[in-house]
Amino acid sequence: MLIGSSGAGKTTLSRIMTGLDSDYSGKVLWNGTECNELSSLWGVQFQSSALFHDCTVFENIIFPLKYLKIYSDEFLKDMGMYFAYQIGLNPELLHRYPHQLSGGQKRLVALARALIKNPPMLLLDEPTAGLDPATAERYDNVVSNLTKQIAVVVITHDLERIEKSNNIAYLSKGELTYPMKSEIHVKLWAK
């Protein structure tokens, strides 16, 4: 869980961690080794869900694999169905378009799309913002199951999500601290 006030650098840190921003000084380490291919390590779900409005739910889910242009249509169909099932998405929704979905359904579609390349880590940016309590709880259950399989970093302001978390990092003025383990901290320098 990554928390911090507005302007603290959460978005900058998440962009650096996921390889979306390379304009920084210093090194990013993965298992103790400097990593230059960060984007291959992460699945990312943006706060806005960032779905393609002219694509169906199914097309949105398989997009990261289809974009590579190396997989058969049969494989893409199987993977899309598998990840829709994994996150508990109703199969009846697969042929709908994003404008026909609720906010919670859009978040689940974006989550399936983030997972389809089997990343070892997942970044969720404000995943439950704007969701009703029941939908947020359902989403949390899906993510809780994921944390048993892969590393998940959640950026949030949601106090209920924060209270449920065991590992919380706090970002303030470019310094990342772990309240439970104050001896660990990271200093970021932006160019």
Identity (one letter) of the amino acid at 183? E
pLDDT tens for each residue of 8-66: 778 788 888 787 787 777 777 777 777 777 777 788 888 788 899 999 999 999 999 99
- 87: domain range? 2-187
Question: SS3 helix, strand, coil % of the chain, rounded to 5?
Answer: 40, 15, 45
pLDDT tens for each residue of 134-182: 888 888 888 888 888 888 888 877 666 666 677 777 887 777 776 644 3
CATH number of the domain to which 11 belongs: 3.40.50.300
C-alpha separations of 164 from 6, 63, 69, 155 in Å: 21, 32, 40, 14
The number of distinct structural domains making up the chain is: 1
CB atoms within 10 A of CB 108: 27
